[in-house]
Structure 1
Amino acid sequence: MTNKKEMRELILNIFNTRYACKGYDPEKKVSEEDFKVIMEAARLSPSSMGLEPWKFVLLNNKDIKEKIRPYAWGAEVSLAGASHFVLILARKPIDMKYDSDYIEYMMNDVQHFTDELRAVRKNKLKDFQEKDLKLLESERVFFEWVCRQTYIPLANMLTAAAMLGVDSTPMEGFNYDQVEKILIEEGVIDPEHFGLSCMIAFGYKNRDHRPKTRRKMEAVLEIIE
Structure 2
Amino acid sequence: MNKKAIAKEEILNAYRFRHATKEFDPNKTIPADDFQFILETGRLSPSSFGMEPWRFIVVQNEKLRDKIKNTSWGAAGKLPEASHFVMILARTHLDTRFDSAYLKEQFSDFPEDRLSQYLGMIEQFQKHDFKLLDQERFLNDWAIRQTYIPLANMMTAAAEIGIDSCPIEGFNVERMNELLAEEGLLEDGHFTISVMVAFGYRKKEPQPKTRRPYDDVVKWIE
TM (norm. structure 2) is 0.96
Shift of 1:191: 4.1
Query: What is the aligned-residue RMSD (CA, Å)?
Result: 1.3
Which residue number corresponds to residue 12 of structure 2? Answer: 12
> What secondary structure is seen at the aligned counterpart in 2 of 1:90?
strand
Decide which of 130, 149, 158 is 1:161's aligned counterpart.
158
Q: Distance in 2 between matches of 1:200 and 1:37?
A: 16
Shift of 1:210: 1.0
Shift of 1:157: 0.2
Which residue number corresponds to residue 123 of structure 2? Answer: 126
Q: Distance in 2 between matches of 1:214 and 1:97?
A: 38
Q: Distance in 1 between matches of 2:96 and 2:172?
A: 25
Which residue number corresponds to residue 195 of structure 1? Answer: 192
* Amino acid in the other structure paired with 1:164: I
Shift of 1:188: 2.5
Q: Distance in 2 between matches of 1:191 and 1:59?
A: 20
* Amino acid in the other structure paired with 2:185: V
In structure 2, the CA distance between the partners of 1:210 and 1:130, relative to structure 1 (3 Å rule), is same
Which residue number corresponds to residue 88 of structure 2? Answer: 88
Tell me, yes or no, if the aligned pair for 2:54 and 2:90 is still in contact at 8 Å.
Answer: yes
> What secondary structure is seen at the aligned counterpart in 2 of 1:21?
coil
Shift of 1:2: 5.4
Unaligned runs of 5+ in 1: none
Q: Is 1:212–2:187 an aligned residue pair?
A: no
* Amino acid in the other structure paired with 2:47: S
Tell me, yes or no, if the aligned pair for 2:62 and 2:80 is still in contact at 8 Å.
Answer: no
Which residue number corresponds to residue 65 of structure 2? Answer: 65
Tell me, yes or no, if the aligned pair for 2:25 and 2:200 is still in contact at 8 Å.
Answer: yes
> What secondary structure is seen at the aligned counterpart in 2 of 1:52?
coil
Q: Which has the higher helix share?
A: 1
Which residue number corresponds to residue 35 of structure 1? Answer: 35
* Amino acid in the other structure paired with 2:32: E
In structure 2, the CA distance between the partners of 1:19 and 1:91, relative to structure 1 (3 Å rule), is same
Shift of 1:18: 0.9
Q: Provide runs of 4+ in structure 1 moved above 6 Å.
A: none
In structure 2, the CA distance between the partners of 1:135 and 1:29, relative to structure 1 (3 Å rule), is same
Shift of 1:15: 0.8
TM (norm. structure 1) is 0.95
